[in-house]
Amino acid sequence: MLLDDPDSSALITDVDGTLCRIVGRPERAVVPARARTSLGTLAERLEVVACVSGRPVEVVSRMVDVPSLTYIGNHGLELIEPGGSAPVVELDAEDAALTSAFIREHDSPFWVSAGIRVEDKGPIQALHWRGADERTEATVHEIADLAAASGLDIHWGRKVMEIRPPGMEGKAGAVESLLEGRGIRTVAFAGDDRTDLEAAIRLKEMKESGEIDRLVLVAVSSTEGPPELVEIADVVVDDPDRWLEMLQGLAG
């Protein structure tokens, strides 16, 4: 379907939990070489092939390492165009500094002993607690309440809570602006988490309003991901490897 009219087709994929498995420490996640080959081939044919991730864009472009793709990082705040290297940042400096100021003010040694790891993603601060227990999760909820009371946005993912500057549109806004003005009629989108659900819902709305004609939503299901994503998906797979097989099939 995508290859019927490649000049008006886009393939957009999340990375962690979709192109590669989630691992205990995010810095150890590896995108398999066969994903690289398939995405590179598809990028030669399709109008848009993009990776949309919650990670900083420079990190995600290094992980996937196919220069001909579009990379969107930090849930839409940062972009690297095909062949580009310097990221474009879509946020003013004052808003970008709000979340790190919150962490500076509230960070405590107790967070580390409770098993919380703070990932400094510039404008977004992510608190990870994979491997820690329910008490730690309760602590993360308390921190989230504090951040929300300070006017910051809170987003929950798979064993991660993100503190974001207010008013961010996330991946939903990112996919919409990625497709804007490019004559895209067919979109395939794959994801596994709550932020991907927001993008999937936006794409469905775009299809209903006639902005695009065809949409294939692929959900990589897991016990940690949102059930709603599985409910609205056209294709559900239970492992990133299955999505990689589909990409290989598309690439021929």
C-beta of 65 vs 224, nearer to Mg ion: 224
Residue 125 exposure: Cα atoms within 13 Å on the Cβ side: 25
Q: Give me the least distance between CB of 220 and Mg ion, in Å please.
A: 8
Q: Which is nearer to Mg ion, 54 or 123 (CB)?
A: 54
Q: Which is nearer to Mg ion, 113 or 223 (CB)?
A: 223
**CB nearer to Mg ion: pick between 90 and 193:** 193
Per-residue burial over 38-48, b if 16 or more Cβ lie within 10 Å, else e, is bbbbbbebbbb
Q: Which of 9, 11, 12, 17 binds Mg ion (CB under 5 A)?
A: 17
88-117: which residues touch Mg ion (CB under 5 A)? none
Using the contact rule CB under 5 A, the part of the chain among 81-89, 144-152, 184-192, 244-252 near Mg ion is: 184-192
Judging by beta carbons within 10 Å of its beta carbon (0-12, 13-18, 19+), is residue 181 exposed, middle or buried?
Answer: exposed
Q: According to the binding rule CB under 5 A, does residue 73 interact with Mg ion?
A: no
For residue 87, give the DSSP letter: P
Q: Which ranges in 12-88 belong to alpha helices (H)? A: 33-45, 57-64
Query: Applying CB under 5 A, does 193 fall inside the site for Mg ion?
Result: yes
Helices 57-64 and 33-45, axial angle in degrees (round to 10): 100
CA–CA gap between residue 126 and residue 61 (Å, rounded): 19
Q: Across the strands, what pairs with 215?
A: 187
In the complex, the smallest distance separating the C-beta of residue 216 from Mg ion, rounded to whole angstroms, is 18
Question: Can you tell me which of 47, 78, 90, 192 binds Mg ion, judged by CB under 5 A?
Answer: 192
Which residue's Cβ lies closest to Mg ion? Answer: 17
Q: Which stretch binds Mg ion (CB under 5 A): 10-18, 147-155, 226-234, 237-245?
A: 10-18
Q: How far apart are CA 70 and CA 190, in angstroms?
A: 15
| Residue 162 near Mg ion by CB under 5 A | no
Q: Which of 16, 78, 90, 198 binds Mg ion (CB under 5 A)?
A: 16
Binding residue for Mg ion, selected from 14, 47, 162, 198, defined by CB under 5 A? 14
Residues whose CB is less than 8 angstroms from the CB of residue 225 and which lie 6 or more positions away in sequence, other chains included: 17, 158, 192, 193, 194, 219
- Between residues 8 and 155, which has the closer beta carbon with respect to Mg ion? 155
16 - beta bridge partners?
A: 20
- In this structure, are residues 75 and 173 in contact, taking their beta carbons and an 8 Å threshold? no
**Residue ranges that bind Mg ion, judged by CB under 5 A:** 14, 16-17, 192-193
